[in-house]
């Protein structure tokens, strides 16, 4: 017989089991809800960092797992077949290495490393301070600025600091990881047999004045010795010299130094260049200076920096969080004597005056991007740009757009020369001293009241706002036009980097090329305004509100002309177009000169990187047409074999407008 159990009756205050379970569930949910409310900002940050790291590692894995030919495959699928690199093309043609090649880097593209420093730089011995990852800029910015600056009196090493150029091809093959300078050219030359014994990177400390690179580091002597060794070890084949940017005027200085008698020169004799140099192939050479250097020395600005400064003045002008700002940058740049080598040369004769300029009438070219199959269409369609007023490139600095446009007779100018500068309380309170700290309100107003500065005024302007800097610069550089090149004073080294105050060597078999990009708006003149006069600020800034829109020459306070984005066509091309063309007083032996212009074509997609047809100042170093020209000359070709001049701009037309005694 089954036993039947009866359920025990519930006590009066006892909760039924089912209801007890419901209560437990509610408590659990309440705990979960309480836990969610404790989510903090730190948790969100941790999740965000974790998400970024995860995505980064996935992308890195996919990049390493991707076949090396995949980017080329995608590019060809979009644009059609990609042309072979020049090295492959010329290798297939049977070209071989013949003449040794010497690379001369420009300003900022050569790596610098620390050999001795202050306590804040512990652990950085022989680590790159310039070039590479620039890690120290973020880790210890003020220490970095201190070690990258030169002595404000001597223009050389500050006490207890020694920063020196990196040696070898690695000094300037890449400026930063993935950002090539000379690497593409070196790799293509290697295809036809070049190696380190036939290629030489003439690395130097680009911050120093040119003569001081010899005084401190014996750099000019090293270049001389290496060229002599390479020529001797290659069966007497003369060297092909390839300077880039400021390297062009540095090597111009070298050619005078090497033939000048010791102790000022290298003592190589008057025929040294004729015996050792086949060709000088200048890439983007600022032979007559660049207006960009004027803006950098005057207000530590260029077009892009001016836009940022107008948007975020508290970051750029103030010492926010003790990071690098414009006062730090200006103080550092003004100790680099090399920056003064690129101040525009030739005065109003070359660059124009209040009412004229060689580029007068220039209008931006309407350029169309490449279509899907990678072809260019409708090139060089010039259109007239209508401005409200007549803009004048000869007015390199104008305070206000109206001053840029007014007729010379309507300008009311008060001469700043000799003005009393006054005093400034910032002298004792600024952490970052610049020479503007000594100008006072009176000096600042005097600069603005002169209204317009031409190339004939800019030297006086810089002497007024930065007398210490210009006193150093005046001992190493000159910016005029020689009346009599046989005058003994021109044997001084301060004239050797100015092509208008020096003669080319007596080497009739040598060739000189001006190779540069065109088709990119390039800074030529500036509209300025006076910034708020306050402690520690730079008192002048580019007036970014002065603008004619995308179709005009005036954008964000900057007047642009044709060039490679840094060097105007006039500076890069005039000497080979006219000043050195044929037998002139600047070229008495009749060295042959050629102009090779490369019309800018930007990459059509990201997979093309910086492109193979770029005309930009640095990106042109990967331009296949330019690389092919250099390789052919290095393999024995002449300028005539290349086809002579290749011109897309109005350089010959503009050169004819310049009245210069030849």
- Secondary structure percentages of the chain, helix, strand, coil, to 5: 40, 15, 45
| Both tokens assigned to 263 | 């102790």
Catalytic residue among 147, 476, 537, 617: 617
Catalytic residue among 564, 599, 619, 629: 564
| Both tokens assigned to 593 | 């000169």
Query: Facing residues of 522 across strands?
Result: 561
| Both tokens assigned to 550 | 């995308």
Interatomic CA distance for residues 356 and 344, integer angstroms: 16
List the strands of the sheet with 128-130, edge to edge: 128-130, 112-116, 162-165
In whole angstroms, how large is the CA radius of gyration of the chain?
Answer: 31
Is residue 245 part of the annotated active site? The answer reads yes
Contact of 239 with 227, CB cutoff 8 Å: yes
Strand ranges, E, within 400-491: 452-453
Secondary structure (H, E, C), 158-211: CCCCEEEECCCHHHCCEEECCEECCHHHHHHHHHCCCCCCCEEECCCCCCCCHH
CA atoms within 13 A on the CB side of 346: 29
Is residue 99 part of the annotated active site? The answer reads no
How far separated are the first and last CA of the chain, in Å rounded? 136
What is the SS3 assignment for 144? Answer: helix
Catalytic residue among 237, 245, 571, 655: 245
Strands 112-116 and 101-104: unpaired
Contact of 602 with 520, CB cutoff 8 Å: no
Strands 397-399 and 520-530: parallel
Nearest to 387 by CA among 549, 557, 561: 549
Q: Please count the residues of the chain.
A: 662
Strands 511-518 and 128-130: unpaired
Is residue 617 part of the annotated active site? The answer reads yes
| Both tokens assigned to 7 | 């359920």
What is the SS3 assignment for 659? Answer: coil
Q: Which residues are catalytic, by number?
A: 245, 564, 617
């Amino acid at each position: 017989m089954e036993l039947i159990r009866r359920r025990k009756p519930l006590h009066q205050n006892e909760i039924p089991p089912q209801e007890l379970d419901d209560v437990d569930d509610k408590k659990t949910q309440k705990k979960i809800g309480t836990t969610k409310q404790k989510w903090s900002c730190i948790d969100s940050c941790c999740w965000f960092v974790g998400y970024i790291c995860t995505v980064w590692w996935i992308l890195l894995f996919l990049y390493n797992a991707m076949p090396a030919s995949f980017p080329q495959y995608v590019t060809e699928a979009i644009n059609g077949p990609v042309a072979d690199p020049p090295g492959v093309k010329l290798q297939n043609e049977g070209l071989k290495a013949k003449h040794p090649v010497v690379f001369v880097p420009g300003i900022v593209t050569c790596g610098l490393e620390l050999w001795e420093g202050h306590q804040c730089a512990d652990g950085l011995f022989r680590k790159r301070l310039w070039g590479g990852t620039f890690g120290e800029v973020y880790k210890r910015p003020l220490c970095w600025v201190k070690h990258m600056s030169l002595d404000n009196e001597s223009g050389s090493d500050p006490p207890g600091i020694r920063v020196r150029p990196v040696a070898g091809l690695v000094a300037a093959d890449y400026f930063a990881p993935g950002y090539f300078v000379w690497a593409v050219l070196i790799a293509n030359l290697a295809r036809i047999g070049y190696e380190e014994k036939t290629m030489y990177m003439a690395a130097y400390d680009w911050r120093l004045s040119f003569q001081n690179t010899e005084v401190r580091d014996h750099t000019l002597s090293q270049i001389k010795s290496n060229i002599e060794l390479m020529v001797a070890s290659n069966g007497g084949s003369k060297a092909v010299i390839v300077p880039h940017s400021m390297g062009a005027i540095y090597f111009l200085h070298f050619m005078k130094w090497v033939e000048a008698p010791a102790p000022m020169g290298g003592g190589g004799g008057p025929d040294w260049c004729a015996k050792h140099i086949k060709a000088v192939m200048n890439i983007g050479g600022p032979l007559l200076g660049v207006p960009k250097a004027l803006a950098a020395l005057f207000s530590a600005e260029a077009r892009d920096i001016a836009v940022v400064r107008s948007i975020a003045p508290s970051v750029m002008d103030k010492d926010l969080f003790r990071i690098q700002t414009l006062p730090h940058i200006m103080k550092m740049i003004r100790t680099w004597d090399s920056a003064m080598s690129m101040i525009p040369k030739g005065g109003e004769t070359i660059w124009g005056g209040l009412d004229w300029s060689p580029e007068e009438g220039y209008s931006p070219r309407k350029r169309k991007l490449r279509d899907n199959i990678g072809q260019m269409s409708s090139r060089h369609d010039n259109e007239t740009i209508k401005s409200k007023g007549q803009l004048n490139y000869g007015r390199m600095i104008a305070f206000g757009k109206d001053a840029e446009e007014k007729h010379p007779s309507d300008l009311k100018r008060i001469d700043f020369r000799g003005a009393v500068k006054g005093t400034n309380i910032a002298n004792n309170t600024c952490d970052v001293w610049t020479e503007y700290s000594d100008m006072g309100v009176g000096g600042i107003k005097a600069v603005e009241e002169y209204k317009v500065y031409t190339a004939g005024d800019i030297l006086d302007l810089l002497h007024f706002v930065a007398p210490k800097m210009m006193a150093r610069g005046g001992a190493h550089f000159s910016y005029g036009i020689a009346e009599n090149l046989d005058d003994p004073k021109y044997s001084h080294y301060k004239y050797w980097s100015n092509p208008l105050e020096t003669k080319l060597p007596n080497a009739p078999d040598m060739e000189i090329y001006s190779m540069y990009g065109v088709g990119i708006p390039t800074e030529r003149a500036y509209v300025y305004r006076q910034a708020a006069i306050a402690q520690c600020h730079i008192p002048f800034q580019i007036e970014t509100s002065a603008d004619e829109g995308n179709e005009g020459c005036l954008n964000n306070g900057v007047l642009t002309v044709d060039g490679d984005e840094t060097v105007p066509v006039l500076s890069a091309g005039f000497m080979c177009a006219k000043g050195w063309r044929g037998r002139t007083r600047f070229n008495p032996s009749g060295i042959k000169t050629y102009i090779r212009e490369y019309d800018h074509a930007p990459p059509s997609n990201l997979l093309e990187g910086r492109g193979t047809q770029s005309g930009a100042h640095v990106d042109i170093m990967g331009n296949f047409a330019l690389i092919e020209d250099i390789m052919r000359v290095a393999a024995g070709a002449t300028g005539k074999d290349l086809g002579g001049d290749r011109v897309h701009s109005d350089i010959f037309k503009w050169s004819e407008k310049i009245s210069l005694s030849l």
